[in-house]
Amino acid sequence: MSRKKNKRRGTMTEEEKKEVEETPAVEEKNEETEEKDALDETEALKAKVRDLEEKVSELNDRILRDAAETENYKKRLRQEKENAVKYANEALIRDLLDPLDNFSRAIEAAEKSQDIETIKQGVEMVESQLKGVLSTNWGLEQFSPEGEDFNPSEMEACMMKEEEGLDKEKVLQVFMKGYKLHGKVIRSAKVVVGKPKRN
């Protein structure tokens, strides 16, 4: 006979009674275990969240420090670049100080002396010193192409004259000397160009 029928009749066997009594205890035990598991899982998740928050905080600090270091590095580079541009010609200027002092001495000597030849020699010495410094230390080369074939990449024709006896264009006169820096023309020579006379 089934349990349903026994319940209807109000009678239960001993075995059925025992089974009914044990069922709530098992269910309670299962509920306690589930609650304990849920609490353990919650604690584990909270611990994991705390760890992740600490890692995020550390990463944020590192990012901020890296950003500050990068910004400082950029500022240093900018400052170094500005200084490099600002003081790029320092060595050149230092080299020109002695000839500049000698020009001052030549002017003082000219005020005291009436000897034109001595003044001329003093100025020539300063010019020679200045050219020597610029040539030796800085690679500056002066050129004066009088009598040479006209070369438009190094010379600028200020005047043209037809001349007898020329077979091609030649420099007749130099108005202003040219300059090269390490072989590159930085100022063309200004010249009078003679060209063959047309018949």
pLDDT value, residue 4: 46
- Report percent pLDDT > 90 for the chain: 57
- In Å, the largest CA–CA distance within the chain is 154
Q: Are residues 93 and 52 in the same domain?
A: no
Task: Please check the confidence at residue 143 and state whether its pLDDT lies above 70.
Answer: yes
Least confident of 47-56, 103-112, 133-142, 166-175: 103-112
**Token pair in block for residue 153:** 């990449």
Q: Are both 153 and 188 inside the same structural domain?
A: yes
Whether residues 8 and 80 share a domain: the answer is: yes
Band of residue 122 on the pLDDT scale cut at 50, 70, 90 = confident
Same domain, 8 and 77: yes
Give burial (CB, 10 Å; 0-12/13-18/19+) of 136.
Answer: exposed
124-135: average pLDDT:
93
Top pLDDT among 39 and 186 is at 186
Give the span between the Cα atoms of 82 and 35, in whole angstroms. 70
* pLDDT in the model for residue 96: 93
Residue 94 in tokens? 């230092």
| Chain segment 92-103, per-residue pLDDT in tens | 999 999 999 998
Based on the fold, state whether residues 21 and 74 are members of the same structural domain.
yes
Regarding whether 108 and 170 lie in a shared domain, the answer is no
Determine the structural domain holding residue 39 and report its residue range: 3-84
The sheet carrying 170-176 orders its strands as 155-163, 189-196, 170-176
CATH of the domain at 189: 2.30.22.10
Confidence category of residue 59, pLDDT binned at 50, 70, 90: very high
Clarify whether residues 57 and 98 are in a common domain.
no
Residues 111, 160 share a domain: no
pLDDT of residue 27: 59
Q: Which of 18, 49, 84 is the last residue of a domain?
A: 84
Q: Are residues 79 and 20 in the same domain?
A: yes
Q: With both helix axes pointing from N to C terminus, report the angle between 116-138 and 90-112 in degrees, rounded to the nearest 10.
A: 170
Strands (E), the chain: 140-143, 155-163, 170-176, 178-181, 184-187, 189-196
**Cβ proximity of 181 and 142 under 8 Å:** no
Total-model pTM: 0.59
Does the structure show a pLDDT above 70 at 173? yes
User: What's the domain count of the chain?
Assistant: 3
